[in-house]
Structure 1
Amino acid sequence: MQSTLREIKLNGSFNFRDLGGYETKDGRRVKRGILFRSGNLSLLTEDDLKVVNQLGIKKICDLRGVDEIDKFPDPILDGATWHHTPILSDEQMLGQVGEQTSFADVLRNTKPGELLLHLNQNMVSFKNAFQQVFKVLLTETHTPLLFHCMAGKDRTGAVAALTLSILGVSREIIVEDYLYTNETLTQMNTNFEKIGYNDLPNIDKSVLDALFEARAEYIDSFLDGIEANYGSVEMYSKEVLGLSDEAINLLRSNLLE
């Protein structure tokens, strides 16, 4: 996978990657320069913006909640339209494990990894959220799109998993792509320290490690939930997301080579 992965190194962001190059089960490949994923963009430097603008990104799907966007807004990219396509609201995050009053309270009352297992399992039911993302993706499918959340891991990972699976990329590669976030944990930590996003006092280290790391069981719980309830991602995309055969063929024709 290292030969196909294209990480774009930036000073003010992390986990910024081109999803192009991955091989599908029928021997085609995802086109380079069309699908990008990343973590928080709010600290992009002027030099970073020059690099990102050169990618020709025309559409941005911001998967974060309103509170995150208000605190850490995206910069404006030349010629790009910004779309708020939240995968998880602040209320949904607090509701993952009981009725807590803050995110820190949630973490103090969960076992390591429990929050993200719940999140990934529950994301299967986030019909409207994924529909919004694919509506943007299907608008001028040949133009470069960037989707991101804060860590560029779980919400971003779910969108990447759905998209790559619909394109015919194997589950093994999709899980490997998800796990690559662990190669960027140092940069993530630096980014989050600067904005105070990881200032979570009195939280057990094992819980924090489980929160920021990418673990196979997280993305597996999302994909397993889809397969258990719908048989396959393609059936999920048709029955839940409402994608027609024409839409799926359009994605494959424009995003594969």
Structure 2
Amino acid sequence: MLGTGPSAGAGRRDSSPNRPRRRALHRVLAPGLARPAPAGPRRRRIRVSPLHAWAATVLGKSLPCEPVRRNAVVVLEGARNCRDLGGYPAAGGRHVRPGALFRSDRLSTLTDDDLDELGSRGIRTVVDFRAGPEIERDRSRLWPGVTSHISLPVGDTVDGDISMVDQIFEGRLRSVSEDDMAGLYLQMIGSYGERFAQLVAIAADVDHLPMLFHCTAGKDRSGIASALLLEALGVARETVLDDYCLTNELRSHQRMAELAPEFAKMGISIDDVGAILSAPRGVMTAVLADLDVRFGDVGAAARDSLNGNTTDEGPQSGVVGYLLAHGLDPAALEMLRANLLI
């Protein structure tokens, strides 16, 4: 279990020559971290966005994505990338149950109104993918209804975008490609398979629902977790990729625009490092294709044995095989679908 207190602050003192610039950087990466919650009357601000197609362009570089279902975005003041995974169509004409699975970025900067909103969703389990230093620096703020706060650390550092940006400011890194990001994701998937399998087992347990899982940016570790859960539930591959790309509109495009001037001072184009700051479709496409190749045979056999899944409409075989290979009980897959599909 983890603590439920407010943010603990910025952590260790940074005495490097780039300290002022890095401190400004982290104010962009962690908006509101050093600022108190805004004063004034408390009010409900939650809105839902209508379904629409979009293809955003940032700094002249197109980051296209297919139409996605945006009406489950939870608009919060202290978190940019929080949303309900419910409502997506799955195999056999079913849908992911709304209000049961949520993904998010850090919870340390939530306002009191944000806590009220998330509490009103009945979320009682929070799973934190962050490692020790991240937790110490950014203590999560939780609402009274949370009964389980579970630590499943993936990696021993912060989200890839923050750690790699630090390397850029230190002069050790000047470009990040989609191949680099796919390699980072595959490294996480290879090293922390048991923890991702444990996440799925937690999601399959009705006593832990509704559940929210998060990391720091809500992009890399949470993006992988969302893709694994949605594919295990039988959501189509293209829809899974659309959900991954939604991070671009909710978070990445704004952050790229904010960071571009800082990188320009160092002679670095935002285009050269955009892959680490965004959620490129090609990255997750490559990762899931790799799982299909390595774990497809195991997953296909398991898929055909699941109740109601005797055709190719079932869960993507690579993901299912990966989860089983890392300790997930086949019965948990059945329970996952029984509890989270309607």
TM-score over 0.5 for the pair: yes
Q: Match of 1:206? A: 271
Residue 28 of structure 1: how far off its partner (Å): 0.4
**2:243 and 2:180 mapped to 1: Cα distance?**
21
Contact map agreement 1:14 1:187 (CA 8 A) in 2: no
Residue 133 of structure 1: how far off its partner (Å): 1.9
Contact map agreement 2:124 2:209 (CA 8 A) in 1: yes
Distance 1:123 1:32, change over 3 A: same
Residue 93 of structure 1: how far off its partner (Å): 5.9
Q: Match of 2:127? A: 61
Q: Match of 2:105? A: 39
5+ long unaligned stretches in structure 1 = none
**1:177 and 1:236 mapped to 2: Cα distance?**
20
Distance 1:207 1:66, change over 3 A: farther
5+ long unaligned stretches in structure 2 = 1-66, 297-317
Contact map agreement 1:120 1:221 (CA 8 A) in 2: no
**2:159 and 2:119 mapped to 1: Cα distance?**
33
The alignment status of 1:237 with 2:319, answered yes or no, reads no
Contact map agreement 1:5 1:19 (CA 8 A) in 2: no
Q: CA RMSD in A?
A: 3.0
Distance 1:247 1:55, change over 3 A: same
Count of aligned positions = 247
Report the AA paired with residue 324 of structure 2: K
Identity over the aligned pairs, expressed in percent?
31
Distance 1:15 1:180, change over 3 A: same
Distance 1:173 1:24, change over 3 A: same
Q: For 1:23, what is the secondary structure of its paired residue?
A: coil
* Deviation readout 1:184-205 (Å, 9 max, x if unpaired): 1279639xx8xx9xx8884542
The alignment status of 1:86 with 2:153, answered yes or no, reads yes
Counting only pairs closer than 5 Å after superposition, residues 145-224 of structure 1 correspond to structure 2 as 145-185=211-251, 189=255, 202=266, 204-224=269-289
**1:92 and 1:53 mapped to 2: Cα distance?**
26
Bigger radius of gyration: 2
* Deviation readout 1:117-139 (Å, 9 max, x if unpaired): 22122233122321332343234
Report the AA paired with residue 152 of structure 2: T
Q: Match of 2:186? A: 121
Residue 104 of structure 1: how far off its partner (Å): 4.7
